[in-house]
Amino acid sequence: MTATTAIGAGLNRIEAAAKVTGAARYAGEIPLDGHAYGSVVQSTIARGQVTMIDADAVLARPGVLAVLTHDNAPRLHRADDTDAELLVLQDDRVRYRGQAVALVIAETLEQARAGAELLDVTYQPEDHDVVFAADHPRLYAPEHVNPNYPTDTSVGDVDAALASAAIVVDATYSTPAEHNNPMEPHAAIAQWDGDRLTVYDSNQGATSVRQALTTLFGLADGAVRVLSEHVGGGFGAKGSTRPHAVLAAMGARFTERPIRVTLTRQQMFAMVGYRTPTIQHMRLGADADATLVALEHTAYSQTSQVLEFAEQTALISRLMYAAPNLRTRHRVVALDVPTPRWMRAPGEAPGSFALESAMDELATACGVDPIELRVRNEPSVEPDSGLPFSSRNLIACLHEGAERFGWASRDPRPGVRRDGRWLIGTGVASSTYPARSAPSTAAATALADGSFVVEITASDIGTGARTALTQIAADELRAPTERVEVRIGDSDFGQAMIAGGSMGTASWSWAIAKACRELLHTLHEIGTVPPEGVTAHADTAEDIKAQAQLSRHAFGAQFAEVRVDVDTGEVRVPRLCGVFAAGRIINAKTGRSQLIGGMTMGIGMALLEEGVMDPQFGDYVNHDLASYHVPVNGDVHDIDVSWIDEHDDRLNPVGVKGIGEIGIVGTAAALANAVWHATGHRHRHLPIRPDRVLTSLA
């Protein structure tokens, strides 16, 4: 065996041929003999009680096998940490519009959906509250914010510093509810064999789904197997067990045959999570030389009556800029709405819009260049905690991005560049995202024919994770990638981190590297591989626990050019440029794709995406892709992505920081700042719709 250099190469996706030829099977396509279909019936009120479900007419229809309701559904078990959203069909209470109230099971999908549409459900509605506001009387401070950060932090005397500051920015920003909308809808097919349950599910972590189903159905450890070999996108919506998988398992137990449940696009808007709307109050104070003296970030968000989820919106302000007086706060209100969850860069994405917009406003007020303002306020340690950074190359990203983007030629005056009816402007913002790792296990096997098999419960949600892990394993094993097979998406492979929090590759690569190194050590000792092969196992729990206390983050700089139509209010984005310092990039091709994807999602966040709540009916009315707008090819023009060659040996053995989410952070703020530069009007509320642009211009 000799050293190889697979890491860093632009290796094509290993599963690419299987996907484009249709050989790759997704959860909604797995063929199990004798399977039937389940169609979810959702509540049509936002709060109240189910008083009657008349299933007789539906049960009499051709092909209908059963109708599961709270009266006859299998009873589920609840532990202290059980996600209450998963306790489906357990009582007659309705806690939000779109909650599952029944499951119609039939021989064909068409028969199941027809039955679901005809099922007669009677309700006793109650007054509901779905209106989110920063002055809501039921706002409270949660015990912590996602995943386990302090709710509030305070350093110094913010009020006194703001009172004496030469320049103050005091502004409120807001972001709407946003919905993940992965291309593949949530789907699962479940099969029982006695007290053993097998579920093929579209998720971001088979281990966590296995654990949840084991608890819910009161099963022994090892009695549940979850498989998710191919997943068509997630963005956080598939980051934990969702009701469809529980319903499939319940239906399969009730009918004693495999049951497939696939959510429709419309159902996904209520049943799988979304990004909470936010209202953010920013106060920045600076000396006359543009040095920050105070920063306050207060974030308001919503959660449900079912389960508390408090997004960590103000977290970004705890680490980005040197402010000797710093205060961050979170407040949340529980409404009669579905539970918000993770959506690509939860916390940092909406938080960066407020912080980076406020920094742009401060640069204008101070009369300094927005990049220079950020450089002047670069911290030497994390401002909130005082922890040293494992590495921090934000300034390098800003300077490199400025060079690539042509920032030096920018006229700082707003509203002066015009091409016919188009106003032209440019903007900049900073990006960051935590670089964490979580305990994971892996196994590496050497076979007698000279090939290797690596097994880990990773999930490839379209990121190219399977390919990147193959490159890592190949380098660790000193073998060409063709001789290494990485198997993923099977909970039987053991505990592993989900594909989320930009922690997937960082966590999995650690376990794989450790297993491969142990395997090489064993092979060195025994000399030859026996016919049955040799396997080494690894668990990184103790390694991660022993890590030194450091602030570990990726950083980046986002640059945007916009053209604003003064007649229609349309905003177009001819150019985006992003430069990132995100540790070691495992695959140049898939890595660039991930960053482009994040920045594209940032276009949607800035200009298009908005869940519109109808307060009377208590639902997001634009719950489909016809009326909930996301960027398409025509919206995406020139996106220039690059990265700093960053080596950080205090992260994990491979030096990975994670790139799945940092691409969206800062993009919306850069675009909003560019719209201000183009028009001279500041947009503090997303999305920047044509009507809002026209109103500001008028």
Fold matches, 16-25+438-545 and 144-178+275-435+550-697: yes
Stated length of the chain: 698
Q: In this structure, what are the phi and psi dihedrals at residue 558, rounded to the nearest 5 degrees?
A: -115, 135
The reported pLDDT for the residue numbered 528 is 86
Q: Does the pLDDT at position 204 exceed 80?
A: yes
Assigned token pair, 648: 């950080």
Q: How confident is the model at residue 646 (pLDDT cuts 50, 70, 90)?
A: very high
Contact call for residues 578 and 593 (beta carbons, < 8 A): no
Q: Does the pLDDT at position 1 exceed 70?
A: no
State pTM to two decimals: 0.97
Q: Under CATH, what is the fold of the domain 144-178+275-435+550-697?
A: Aldehyde Oxidoreductase; domain 4 (3.30.365)
Residues labelled as active-site residues: 661
Mean pLDDT taken over the chain: 97
Q: How confident is the model at residue 610 (pLDDT cuts 50, 70, 90)?
A: very high
Domain formed by 32-127+181-271, architecture: 2-Layer Sandwich (3.30)
Residue pLDDT, tens place only, 119-135: 999 999 999 999 999 99
Q: Does the pLDDT at position 2 exceed 60?
A: no
The reported pLDDT for the residue numbered 4 is 60
Assigned token pair, 636: 């995406």
Q: Does the pLDDT at position 174 exceed 80?
A: yes
Q: Does the pLDDT at position 37 exceed 60?
A: yes
Contacts of 641 (CB under 8 A, 6+ apart): 577, 578, 580, 592, 595, 596, 599, 663
Closest CA to 363 of 430, 278, 433, 296: 430
Closest CA to 655 of 446, 449, 505: 505
Residue 620 Cα distances to 11, 113, 178, 624, angstroms = 41, 22, 10, 10
Mean pLDDT of the 426-449 span: 98
Q: Where are the domains of the chain?
A: 16-25+438-545, 32-127+181-271, 144-178+275-435+550-697
Q: How far apart are CA 212 and CA 241, in angstroms?
A: 7
CATH number belonging to the domain at 16-25+438-545, selected among 3.30.365.10, 3.40.640.10, 1.25.40.10, 3.60.15.10 = 3.30.365.10
Q: Does the pLDDT at position 206 exceed 60?
A: yes
Q: How far apart are CA 353 and CA 297, in angstroms?
A: 12
Contacts of 517 (CB under 8 A, 6+ apart): 476
The reported pLDDT for the residue numbered 62 is 97
Q: How confident is the model at residue 434 (pLDDT cuts 50, 70, 90)?
A: very high
Residue pLDDT, tens place only, 287-338: 999 999 999 999 999 999 999 999 999 999 999 999 999 999 999 999 999 9
